[in-house]
Amino acid sequence: MTDAPKKRSPPTRRAKAPPTDPASLPLSRVQTVVAHRPLSVLEVQDSADLDALLLDTRLAGQIVSRLGPTFALLTPGSEKAVLEALRKAGHLPRVVGG
């Protein structure tokens, strides 16, 4: 005599994991969006250059924060002062879009 086959329970359903790609998130989940303009960003070729500029007392007060290895956000309205300080230090800044 053989044993009757055991009944299996249906597989448990797992909740879907939230999507990891930001582009696939629904916009209805966004609470607040703030767009700031105009912003002034200082870009250098090498992160060591930005390190040196952040230590320069003529520029340190004009930089809000470092955005990346070679980018920094300037305080609003400080563009002329930053350009003048860079020129006095012997740099030849290139201004884009302004």
68-89 pLDDT, tens per residue?
999 999 999 999 999 998 898 8
How many residues in the chain?
98
Question: What is the per-residue pLDDT across 44-71, written as a single tens digit (0 to 9) for each?
Answer: 999 999 999 899 888 888 999 999 999 9
CATH ID of 37-88, from 2.60.120, 3.20.20, 1.10.150, 3.30.70: 3.30.70
Predicted TM-score (pTM) of this structure: 0.61
> What does the alpha-carbon distance between residue 8 and residue 68 come to, in Å, rounded to a whole number?
55
pLDDT tier at 91 (50, 70, 90 boundaries)?
A: confident
Domain ranges for the chain, please list them.
37-88
Neighbours of 24 (CB within 10 A): 8
Average pLDDT over residues 2-11: 69
- Chain-centroid distance of CA 78 in Å reads 21
